């Protein structure tokens, strides 16, 4: 049984007051996420990530298609006992304290008052909210609210957690804490579905990713498969090379970065043999420091998908038929 499964999930809105026309926020999304998997749902701003999460949480209803969580339709309220959700830029009740908010949410899950207090205390410790837990939430910074938001998403020890931009508003320390938390959840067998446009986080955490662009699934798969054997250039780091030599070989390079003290990073197209360039450099008194193939990063892959979608001329707004 998949943790999450969507099939042809589509959401169209109407845009425009005087001349309403359909707008495809999400088009035909089909994907599966396994249990215990950290799945990155990536895309540029406005790609349809939050729309997908809202559809999975039944905050909006699909135009067509279906979605299941842990083998149950998303409309089934009982499935929400087994999931957690952090909305994008969460906001909570100003006049409640962080502790009261978590107790409140724990009570919604049916835990006793005593159990709810214990859960609130444990989770606030886990996300690094100390004595501030007794302050009203209106006094909290954005980062602290984000931490409280993560804590409330875990109040029921969920089997599947949905995190919408979990690193948003966090300082580097907070980001590291959240990364560690996600890995701990994975180790406990919890599936984590997180949407983000911060690719380094996805690269560090996810076993599989999906890239959505303009409401459509552009690519999905294991990171290792998506990026395997996708070297795009050679990178040579050389030292003791004069500027005149660099100027002479420059037309054959795709990039030159001075590193200081006579060291340069040279980028050579993958089609060109690095040996010939290397012999020229050593002949002129230079030394090789390192030679590496430049593999495509998730960022390169992501940009490529976005460009491909742009070139395909996909439009999300249509004239009403």
- Smallest gap from residue 278 Cβ to other proteins (A): 57
Decide if 138 contacts 170 (C-beta within 8 A).
no
CA 10/CA 21 separation, integer angstroms: 16
Which residue in 104, 121, 177, 314 binds other proteins (CB under 8 A)? 104
Decide if 240 contacts 262 (C-beta within 8 A).
yes
3-class secondary-structure state, position 274: helix
**Binding region for other proteins (CB under 8 A) out of 145-153, 184-192, 206-214, 307-315:** 145-153
**Is residue 57 a contact point for other proteins (CB under 8 A)?**
yes
Which residue in 109, 118, 232, 240 binds other proteins (CB under 8 A)? 109
**Is residue 61 a contact point for other proteins (CB under 8 A)?**
yes
Which residue in 105, 234, 301, 302 binds other proteins (CB under 8 A)? 105
CA 132/CA 187 separation, integer angstroms: 29
- Smallest gap from residue 304 Cβ to other proteins (A): 31
> Residue holding tokens 């742009």?
310
User: Residue 54: what are its φ and ψ, rounded to 5°?
Assistant: -65, -35
For other proteins, the binding residues in 197-216 under the rule CB under 8 A are: none
**Is residue 135 a contact point for other proteins (CB under 8 A)?**
no
> Residue holding tokens 């998506």?
226
3-class secondary-structure state, position 175: helix
Tokens of 11: 């959401």
For other proteins, the binding residues in 67-96 under the rule CB under 8 A are: 77-78, 80-81, 83-96
Interface with other proteins (CB under 8 A): 13, 54, 57-61, 77-78, 80-81, 83-96, 100, 104-105, 107-110, 136, 149, 152-153, 156, 162
């Amino acid at each position: 049984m998949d943790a999450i499964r969507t099939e042809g999930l589509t959401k169209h809105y109407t845009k425009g007051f005087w001349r309403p026309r359909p707008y495809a926020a999400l088009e035909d999304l089909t994907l599966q996420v396994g249990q215990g998997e950290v799945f990155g749902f990536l895309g540029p701003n406005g790609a349809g990530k939050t729309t997908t999460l809202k559809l999975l949480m039944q905050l909006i209803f699909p135009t067509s298609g279906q979605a299941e969580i842990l083998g149950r339709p998303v409309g089934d309220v009982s499935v929400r006992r087994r999931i957690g959700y952090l909305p994008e830029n969460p906001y909570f009740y100003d006049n409640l304290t962080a502790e009261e908010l978590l107790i409140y949410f724990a009570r919604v899950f049916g835990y006793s008052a005593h159990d709810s207090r214990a859960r609130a205390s444990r989770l606030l410790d886990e996300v690094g909210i100390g004595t501030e837990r007794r302050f009203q939430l209106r006094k909290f910074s954005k980062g602290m609210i984000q931490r409280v938001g993560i804590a409330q998403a875990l109040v029921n020890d969920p089997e599947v957690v949905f995190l919408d931009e979990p690193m948003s508003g966090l300082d580097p320390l907070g980001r590291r804490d959240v990364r560690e938390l996600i890995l701990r959840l994975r180790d406990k067998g919890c599936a984590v579905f997180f949407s983000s446009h911060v690719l380094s986080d996805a690269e560090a955490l996810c076993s599989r990713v999906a890239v959505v662009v303009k409401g459509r699934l552009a690519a999905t798969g294991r990171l290792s498969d998506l990026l395997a054997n996708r070297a795009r250039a050679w990178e040579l780091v050389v030292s003791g090379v004069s500027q005149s030599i660099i100027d002479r070989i420059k037309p054959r390079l795709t990039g030159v970065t001075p590193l200081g003290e006579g060291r340069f990073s040279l980028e050579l197209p993958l089609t060109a043999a690095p040996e010939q360039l290397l012999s020229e450099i050593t002949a002129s008194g230079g030394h090789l420091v390192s030679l590496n193939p430049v593999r495509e990063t998730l960022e390169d892959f992501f940009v490529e998908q976005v460009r491909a979608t742009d070139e395909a001329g996909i439009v999300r707004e249509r004239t009403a038929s």
